[in-house]
Structure 1
Amino acid sequence: MKRLLAFATLIPTLALADYGSATVSEVVAIYDGDTFTANVEGWPPVIGERIKIRVAGINAPERRSRCDTEADKAREKTLAADARVYVVERLRDAERIELRQIKRGSFFRLIADVYVDGESLGDQLIAAGLAIPYAEGQGGKAWCGHAPQHPVSR
């Protein structure tokens, strides 16, 4: 019983563990402003190929809005499309994409600070008004009624 209890307390700790850093060898797909799929250089294919990566520390607008009003849904979907285009442009033109402070998130995806040619992608998205800092408990409605504070610059 003690072993089971020790193991049960270890699992949440492992989920929060920092797995270091890695380099993306290929971006496979970009879902939205804070989630993309990539191949990770030097990792075994079973975990390093076509792995979903979420940008840590930000909340970008969702393509599948959960806002209550049609106006808010339309605004969030438009912002989500803008955020996706922004990320496509940044990652497509990148010479180096680094994942730092990697953690395991839900749905077998990685959560990491993403750096594009040495600059934080999360900070760039926030500065462009296409993401807000992540706050625990925001839920899926963080962008409902929220307008960008900065103009989108490309």
Structure 2
Amino acid sequence: MIRSRLKCMVILLLALFWSGQTAALAGRREAIPGPVRASVLRVVDGDTFIAEAHIWPGQRITVSVRIRGVDAPELRSRCAAEKAAARQAKAALQVLLDGGTVWISAISGGKYYGRVLADVETEPGGDVAARLLDAQLVAAYGGGRRVSFVC
């Protein structure tokens, strides 16, 4: 009787664990097409900002957004030249996100340390990633290992 109960508990715990893992994996693959209007609260670095997303009338969430398709120099780099490039990229992103409506779309989760990954556009500026790439302040990024910027 005790062995039977123990076996049932183990099966139940494994089932709960498996369902949680499955839900977590599914959440990484889900995407919200958007666009979702957002207010920028703070620019973190050259490819990430904190936004208040207006998901429903009267409903807002605060979320960290990483811009899809770009990788900015690191502010925490040991290399002085990369730090300087990172400050320049951050300042440029601040200018791009100031002074207009921000729209995020193709919103997904993933490996970005609590951030969502999204396409970002502004009115009237357009595609933020393209503008940062055109200014040569960031590198194109499609996942995988990042490249060193200047050091």
Give, as a single letter, the amino acid of the residue that structure 1 aligns with 2:94.
Answer: V
Structure 2 residue corresponding to 1:23, chosen from 37, 56, 75: 37
Residue 77 of structure 1 aligns to a residue whose secondary structure is helix
The question of 1:64 aligning with 2:76 is answered: yes
Q: Distance in 2 between matches of 1:56 and 1:142?
A: 18
TM-score for both structures, normalised by structure 1: 0.75
Check whether the contact 2:40–2:97 (CA below 8 A) recurs between aligned residues.
yes
Shift of 1:40: 0.9
Check whether the contact 2:51–2:64 (CA below 8 A) recurs between aligned residues.
yes
Structure 2 residue corresponding to 1:134, chosen from 131, 135, 141: 141
Q: Distance in 1 between matches of 2:134 and 2:30?
A: 28
Question: Which structure has the greater CA radius of gyration?
Answer: 2
TM-score for both structures, normalised by structure 2: 0.76
Q: Distance in 2 between matches of 1:8 and 1:27?
A: 32
The question of 1:87 aligning with 2:100 is answered: no
Give, as a single letter, the amino acid of the residue that structure 2 aligns with 1:132.
Answer: A
- Change in Cα spacing, 1:137 to 1:144, as seen in structure 2 (3 Å) is farther
- Superposed, which structure 2 residues align to 1:93-108 within 5 Å? 93-94=99-100, 96-105=101-110, 106-108=112-114
- Change in Cα spacing, 1:35 to 1:62, as seen in structure 2 (3 Å) is same
After superposition, the C-alpha distances for 1:16-69 in whole angstroms (9 at most, x for unaligned) are 211121111x21111111011111113544xx13x2111011101111115xxx
Shift of 1:10: 4.3
* Structure 2: stretches of 5+ with no match in the other structure: 1-13
User: Larger strand proportion, structure 1 or 2?
Assistant: 2
Q: In angstroms, what is the RMSD of aligned CA positions?
A: 2.1
User: Aligned residue for 1:123?
Assistant: 130
What is the percent sequence identity of the aligned residues? Answer: 26
Residues paired across the two proteins, number = 133
